[in-house]
Structure 1
């Protein structure tokens, strides 16, 4: 039996024979991400304490990749045990050989820094003018802070509850590595430390060994999250996403020293 997963931003995905997840890129620029996953994840998976997809190419035209279904459902109820499991997972992921990850196709620091600059410029041009005037200077400072963030570890790059899977209350897997790159450890801790329950966040931070500077950077990334939703809504004509994203930008009040 085959079924289609809810629409993703980058890929069309369906379940094949109840066992395989099959994905195709929605845009040409996503093809590189999918091909990188087929080189990166088979190497990375044995070093991680939770299951991840291990995709392989089944067709080049159109590009189609397939992997065994990772067990579990998207994370909903959060507890300290899950936070600890995520912290240990991220320690292992961020400890992976960054040079080897680059050889397998993930964007290197130079490319990441270039893309960050372009992203901040896009946010400044399209999102900042939509904010109330009294918020623009503070949020302009947030965009300036992005340029000083490090690029030193292999990161997932888009870690939130929709990409964490659980079974019987236990964390079982992490999916969707399309945004993996050599970046700032703190990007993967943004939601975990700032958008979850205190018990989950504290357990995750303790297991990971998150120092104050890292936690502070995680707040920068957390505040940037809704900006992506705004530009996605502008790109697709989805005004609900634009409104929701702007509400998120305003809701995540300044909490960063120096901004």
Structure 2
């Protein structure tokens, strides 16, 4: 079986430079460097200022178009920086026919690369909660008018996600990455009856350490949130899972007090989501040889 993160289309440096130069002649000669490859996109830095993201698979194309349409409306309402699309490239005939997106680089280093200690993570609790409270307060009626869709893949459908999580935990154990799966299997089983709320809010949809940016230097302040392709209307639990996966337990009270009311059902659903997603991050990092992702994904299991 092919791993879900294997690309349908490769975008080598020369092709990316050609596509950018053809779509935006003012940027010629295109000087770029590879920033990285994710599940859905490959990202290049151009002239040290602009980031261009190219879909690696067909399913990522509507996600990129969603960012182009919705992020400019969200950005002014949020207390942290997010990418604001400026350049939308529509590739024509040739080896690559999907659109691609360019925006000003958001300053900061991903939290997984920063390898934060517990003190630094505790300092993230309040600003992260304020950011999510603002995001989840965005008017849903306005979001619908802008074309924001509901969740289409069942991120919180536990009937499907819990069996996936169990399989991932077993694979982690087989790889020697997790010694005992029983405590996590028991937590999954205990939450199996939980259901997502029908009170839909604007959610990021894929919030974890790789999509949080922290500033350089000793302060390591939270300064940005990136990769918004999974933006949708859903249960805020899908985002609140970041508190379980990134913050130490002693920071949870600060996070919850700053965010506002989080009932027991939503908090537990967020934890189930964090277990499922973190297991996926560990296996993805293992398969692509990214030790920072493996380390970050394993945090919740400690």
TM-score by length of 2: 0.67
Report how far residue 33 of structure 1 moved.
0.3
Q: Deviations over 1:111-147 (max 9, x none)?
A: 354984785387289658768997897477368446x
Unaligned runs of 5+ in 2: 1-30, 92-97, 174-179
Where does residue 271 of structure 2 map in the other structure?
219
- Verify the 8 A CA contact 1:224 1:249 in the aligned structure 2: no
Q: Does 1:67 align with 2:103?
A: yes
Report the RMSD for the aligned CA atoms in angstroms. 3.5
Distance change (3 Å), C-alpha of 1:25 and 1:91: same
- Verify the 8 A CA contact 1:112 1:183 in the aligned structure 2: no
- Verify the 8 A CA contact 2:197 2:235 in the aligned structure 1: yes
Q: Does 1:150 align with 2:200?
A: no
Report how far residue 174 of structure 1 moved.
0.7
Distance change (3 Å), C-alpha of 1:79 and 1:117: closer
Distance change (3 Å), C-alpha of 1:251 and 1:115: closer
The one of 79, 82, 91 equivalent to 1:49 is 79
Q: Does 1:179 align with 2:230?
A: yes
Q: Deviations over 1:40-80 (max 9, x none)?
A: 10001000011100114431123110011011112333244
- Verify the 8 A CA contact 1:21 1:68 in the aligned structure 2: yes
Where does residue 9 of structure 2 map in the other structure?
none
Report how far residue 201 of structure 1 moved.
3.2
Distance change (3 Å), C-alpha of 1:114 and 1:71: closer
| Aligned mates of 1:197, 1:121 — CA distance in 2 | 23
Where does residue 108 of structure 1 map in the other structure?
150
Where does residue 15 of structure 2 map in the other structure?
none
- Verify the 8 A CA contact 2:244 2:300 in the aligned structure 1: no
Distance change (3 Å), C-alpha of 1:94 and 1:238: same
Alignment of 1:65-104 (within 5 A): 65-75=101-111, 76=114, 77=116, 78-104=120-146
Larger Rg: 2
Where does residue 123 of structure 1 map in the other structure?
164
Alignment of 1:9-48 (within 5 A): 9-48=39-78
| Aligned mates of 2:186, 2:224 — CA distance in 1 | 37
TM-score by length of 1: 0.77
The size of the alignment, in residue pairs, is 244
Unaligned runs of 5+ in 1: 253-259
Distance change (3 Å), C-alpha of 1:121 and 1:217: closer
- Verify the 8 A CA contact 1:74 1:162 in the aligned structure 2: yes
Where does residue 257 of structure 2 map in the other structure?
206
Q: Does 1:238 align with 2:287?
A: yes
Distance change (3 Å), C-alpha of 1:40 and 1:144: same
Report how far residue 5 of structure 1 moved.
0.9
Distance change (3 Å), C-alpha of 1:91 and 1:250: closer
